[in-house]
Amino acid sequence: MKPSSRFLWIAAAIAGCSGGSVQHGGQDAGVGVDAGDAGGPAAGGTNDGGGDGGPGAQATFEGDIEAVSLIAPGTDGGAPARSFSVTAFFNPDVGAGGSGCADGIGVGSCCYLPPSGGGGSAPVSAGTLTLLDDAAAVASMPFDPTNGYGTLTSVSWDGGDSLTVRAAGDVVAPFEVETHAPVDFTGLSPSLSGGVTLPTGSSWTLSWAPGGADSVEITIGAAPGVSVPDGGTPVGSITCTPDDDAGTVTIDSTLLANFTSGQAGQISVARVNAGGATPANGTVVFRASTMVTANATFQ
């Protein structure tokens, strides 16, 4: 699944590991697609016309839809601010690439990935997308041949809401996919509210009160604009995908040692639910998350 732009600077560095870059697809990112959330007869999803979506259907496109409730540090020392965004990407299915942490360094539920050059493909249309919150249509996302679906920001929802995306169909066949918005974090320790210091010579532990979501995803990377520090050495990222019910994750010192003391960074902590759909000519994962981001300093 091609990474989306759902988390601003985190876009290329959150939600699992695959093929030399971090991947956002629910199952490949350590988030099991909940067939119950998908709301349809097909395993992991629902198919609203355009084919039977059954075992004989040939998957030719992959879809990645992200709905994010983000709490980010305030500007100039102000209070943290919440924003909402929805993004959608559809790409040709190039087959199974690397999975897990094959191109990085893995310890437990965490993986350090070196930087990747990335590269995108031309936008693919699934027709106009309609976002529904608890079955009520709240916004639409038309397709632009040059820019794809862009980012929808004029929306909001509450934790626990049922979120659905309905696609009219175009190159990608029509589909409908559903998941549920996770609840906000409580009991984060350290709290991250005033930023955090991350060690480069020892392990670091984060804990939270479990919230019943499919997974928690922690991503650590360089701060925006700090991509080639230390005389031209590119910066990678660490992503961890522990179970929400675990309530804790420890990032091993061997992963944190890839960063440099004094370097500016950022951390994101996301609680994620995922649903899936199987249109006639592809597969779609819809991930809803509530996320906290904070500034970090490595030492």
Return the pLDDT at 50: 37
Return the pLDDT at 281: 94
pLDDT tens-digit readout, 67-80: 999 998 766 556 77
The burial class, CB within 10 Å (0-12 / 13-18 / 19+), for 36 is exposed
pTM: 0.76
pLDDT tens-digit readout, 87-146: 999 998 766 544 568 778 899 999 998 876 555 678 999 999 999 999 999 999 999 999
Report the range out of 16-30, 65-79, 171-185 with the highest average pLDDT. 171-185
CA 43 from chain centre, in angstroms, equals 21
Q: Which pLDDT band holds residue 280 (cuts at 50, 70, 90)?
A: very high
Sign of CA dihedral 251, 255, 260, 261: positive
CA 237 from chain centre, in angstroms, equals 14
**Tokens 């031209």 found at:** 232
Mean pLDDT (the chain, rounded): 79
Better-predicted residue by pLDDT, 150 or 79: 150
Return the pLDDT at 221: 87
Q: What is the mean pLDDT of residues 30-54?
A: 40
pLDDT tens-digit readout, 180-222: 999 999 999 998 888 899 999 999 999 999 999 999 999 998 7
